[in-house]
């Protein structure tokens, strides 16, 4: 049977394509892929009409809540949409989706279909680069014990 071998080969090809793509990314973008985004709220939770939230209205819902956050490192913007749900008198915001607006160059283009970013490869890239970096030499001591 050749199917498992072919599957492994495509995984390896995907890793190679991903590693090459990651290698060309801005270091800030690699940082966000490694330790996640540094989110800061740009527009706090606020009521919006259905047409402002960009979703199809659901039965019984005409008002939604939106929040906009932005990464302070890479400047990715995330627009979050919520419906207001009341349960036993408590207000709850039920997530109904989010859209991302990435800066140019953040997203990896031209990857084989089905290949997604891999945290293992991102960490490996950072580790490899640290090994390649020349080490700072400690100042040599000139005095000798008498
Ligand atoms: Zn970021």
Per residue in 123-142, pLDDT (tens digit) is 999 999 999 877 666 666 66
Cα within 13 Å of Cα(74), Cβ side: 25
Quickly tell me which residue has 């906009």 as its tokens: 68
16 CA → ligand 1 middle, Å = 24
Q: Give the Å distance between the CA of 116 and the centre of ligand 1.
A: 17
CA distance 107 to 59: 36
Q: What is the 74 CA–ligand 1 centroid distance (Å)?
A: 4
Nearest to 15 by CA among 90, 136, 120: 120
Nearest residue to 106 (alpha-carbon basis) of 68, 70, 69, 75: 75
Beta strands 77-87 and 63-71, pairing class: antiparallel
pLDDT at 2: 47
Query: 75 vs 37, 68, 99, 118, CA distance in Å?
Result: 9, 12, 14, 21
- Residue 133 Cα to ligand 1 midpoint, Å, equals 24
Helix 119-132 and helix 27-35, axial crossing angle in degrees, nearest 10: 130
7-50 tens-digit pLDDT: 667 777 888 889 999 999 999 999 999 999 999 999 999 999 87
């Amino acid at each position: 049977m050749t199917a498992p071998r072919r599957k492994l080969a495509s995984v390896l090809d995907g890793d190679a394509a991903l590693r090459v793509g990651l290698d060309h990314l801005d270091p800030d973008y690699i940082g966000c892929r490694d330790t996640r985004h540094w989110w800061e709220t740009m527009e706090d939770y606020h009521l919006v009409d259905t047409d402002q939230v960009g979703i199809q209205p659901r039965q019984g819902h005409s008002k939604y809540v939106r929040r906009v956050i932005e990464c302070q490192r890479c400047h990715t913007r995330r627009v979050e949409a919520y419906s207001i749900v009341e349960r036993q008198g408590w207000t709850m915001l039920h997530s109904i989706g989010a859209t991302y607006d990435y800066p140019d160059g953040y997203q990896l283009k031209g990857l084989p279909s089905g290949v997604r970013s891999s945290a293992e490869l991102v960490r490996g890239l950072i580790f490899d680069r640290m090994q390649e970096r020349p080490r700072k030499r400690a100042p040599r001591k000139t005095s000798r014990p008498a």
